[in-house]
Structure 1
Amino acid sequence: MTRFDQRQCTVMGGNQRELARAKNAKKQNEGKKGQAAGAKDGNKGMTLEARKQRDAEMMRLKQQKAETKRDDGKK
């Protein structure tokens, strides 16, 4: 008779749990793909114009940061 080792069971069962979590996360993301932009969490309550302004400001900041980084590299 072989002795039952509980440590082996926990190791074998852990991978299945992780796979189920990954599958569920993927499923949740798939559901968000079909939503309109205004229904997503970060955009709730914002009009199209407000989202455009916010995104434009974010891009301006990102470009300024890239220019600053590029200029610092040349010095």
Structure 2
Amino acid sequence: MTRGNQRELARERNMKKQQTGKAKTKEDGLTHEQRKQRDADIMRQKQLKKEQAQSAQSTKS
């Protein structure tokens, strides 16, 4: 019966891992479509900002 302690330790580690895994997920209350729209808007803003930075840099040169 030398493995009884290992089994118990493995259970404890698994419980700890499951608890931290649930804490990592964010629930923002949005539906899939709303989240998709929000992410698309963010990407458009990033792309616009990048294009503006490139045009500003090219006018300086």
RMSD of aligned alpha carbons:
1.8
Shift of 1:44: 1.8
The runs of 5 or more residues in structure 1 that have no matched partner are 1-26
* Alpha-carbon separation, structure 2, partners of 1:57 and 1:45: 18
Give the TM-score taking structure 2 as reference length. Answer: 0.57
Counterpart residue number, 2:49: 65
* Alpha-carbon separation, structure 2, partners of 1:45 and 1:74: 42
Give the TM-score taking structure 1 as reference length. Answer: 0.47
Percent identity over paired residues: 49
Listed one character per residue, the Cα deviations across residues 12-63 of structure 1 (whole Å, up to 9, x for unaligned) are: xxxxxxxxxxxxxxx8xx531xx3xxxx0xx421000000000000000000
Residues paired across the two proteins, number: 39
Higher RCO, 1 or 2 (CA under 8 Å, sep at least 6)?
1
